[in-house]
Amino acid sequence: KDIEIVASARNIPEQVVTNDDLSQIMDTSDEWIKQRTGIKVRHISAGENTSDLAINVAKVLLKQVSWQADDLDLIIVATMSPDNMTPAVGAMVQGALGAKKAIAFDISAACSGFSYAISIAQDIMIANNFKNAMVIGAEVLSKLLDWQDRTTSVLFGDGAGGVLLRLSSTRHLLAKDLNTFGDLADNLVAGSIAVADSWQDNLHHISAFKMNGREVYRFATHNVPKSILSAAKKANISLDEIDHYLLHQANSRIITQVARKLKQPIEKFPVNISEYGNTAAASEAILLAECLENKVIKPGETIILSGFGGGLTTASLIYKF
Ligand SMILES: O=C(O)C1CCN(c2ccc(-c3cc(CO)ccc3Cl)cn2)CC1
């Protein structure tokens, strides 16, 4: 028993914010952002919250298959920017679809979240003999950013993507390598809700994104190749047998460095960061949906999905279409 990806979709806010727009409100430049990150524009919510993007993805996914909403057994949303502590975005999607049979919840693993969620969906589906699942990565990071902090706010964007999974008798998810480095947790923090000194004065304040960019960058260049090699070993395949490397779109220079470290041609590494910025848990979902829609990924080909970021975490999945 295994899982098979049978549909993919993405939903991106219409509003585009350019690097020049940002240089009007903080001390940065189109040149610096493009050169250091690869980002040209990002899409920023004009009022849509994370659940709105996730529900849009869910509806497009169901349109692609003949399933009804109440055929769904499981809905998992990976997000670090939910609408609420409760209800979960997953539950809001379940309610909006009327998918009454589905159990639905969120998982929080930042930029590794989509890969963690697919891995967890596979385990739950096999353990419970669920026939299908919907897995979505959705973020409205703009609500968490400090738009005066040029070291973080220029890097991120909003968006959502997702897949439908079906229980399958043929093998597809050849290996998974999930890791958490909690000792490095403080290097990427967003949305902290502090406790007031005296309980009746609770602060109702959520903290903005804070990142030790140098440390997270170093962490990624060191641990992403390790995670990919570990997954390839578990799948008993060589790196040359992987047709496409879909890395979390955190920074274009990291992608180049990982390709060089793994001695794999850069053509195997699709990049769309120039259009979206870093969309955390939505990043891999959007990239996967685009690569499937543009037929970059062909039937029978093998890909690796590799997420890395907050936690700190890494997560690599090897999937054969
Ligand atoms: O000075 C420069 O060149 C700066 C140096 C710092 N940079 C960084 C640093 C870290 C990230 C990052 C973020 C996440 C969060 O999802 C996950 C994974 C990564 Cl590797 C992205 N950019 C930008 C260019």
Pairing assessment for the beta strands 158-168 and 132-140 based on DSSP bridges: antiparallel
Tell me which of 211, 227, 247 to substitute to probe ligand 1's pocket, judged by most ligand atoms within 8 Å of the beta carbon.
Answer: 211
Q: What is the pLDDT of residues 77-129, one digit of tens each?
A: 999 999 999 999 999 999 999 999 999 999 999 999 999 999 999 999 999 99
Among protein residues, the one with the nearest Cα to ligand 1's atom 23 is 37
Q: How far apart are CA 258 and CA 229, in angstroms?
A: 11
Catalytic positions: 111, 248, 278
Measured in angstroms, how far is the CA atom of residue 63 from the centroid of ligand 1? 36
The residue to mutate among 217, 218, 276, having the most atoms of ligand 1 within 8 angstroms of its beta carbon, is 217
Q: Which residues line ligand 1 (CB under 6 A)?
A: 36-37, 111, 155, 188, 213, 216-217, 220, 250-251, 254, 278, 280, 308-310
Q: Report how far residue 203's alpha carbon sits from residue 305's, in angstroms, rounded to the nearest whole number.
A: 39
3-class SS of residue 65? coil
**What is the pLDDT, as a whole number, of residue 156?**
98
AA identity, residue 46: A
Residue 204 Cα distances to 82, 142, 207, angstroms: 16, 19, 10
Position in ligand 1 atom list of the atom nearest CA 188: 15
Q: Give CA 8 to chain center in angstroms.
A: 14
Find the length of the chain.
321
User: At CA 121, angle to CA 116 and CA 124, rounded to 5?
Assistant: 125
Task: Give yes or no for residue 204 having a pLDDT over 90.
Answer: no
* β-strands 103-107, 313-320 pairing: unpaired
The percentage of the chain sitting over the pLDDT mark of 90, rounded to a whole number, equals 96
For residue range 25-53, what is the model confidence (pLDDT) as tens digits? Answer: 999 999 999 999 999 999 999 999 999 99
Given the DSSP bridges, would you call strands 132-140 and 74-78 parallel, antiparallel or unpaired? parallel
Burial class, 231, CB count within 10 angstroms (exposed 0-12 / middle 13-18 / buried 19+)? buried
Query: How far does the centroid of ligand 1 lie from the alpha carbon of residue 251, in Å?
Result: 6
Residue owning the nearest CA to atom 9 of ligand 1: 213
CA angle 227, 232, 237 (to 5 degrees): 170
ipTM (interface predicted TM): 0.98
Please tell me the distance between residue 253's alpha carbon and the centre of ligand 1 in angstroms. Answer: 9
Is pLDDT of 222 > 90? yes
Residue 145, preceding bond cis, omega within 30 degrees? no
Looking at ligand 1, which atom is closest to the CA of residue 216? 10
DSSP letter string, 250-310: S-HHHHHHHHHHTT--GGGS---HHHH-B-THHHHHHHHHHHHHTT-S-TT-EEEEEEEET
Looking at residue 156, the DSSP 8-state letter turns out to be B
CA 280 – ligand 1 centroid, Å: 12
The amino acid that residue 259 corresponds to is A
6 CA to centre of ligand 1 in angstroms: 33
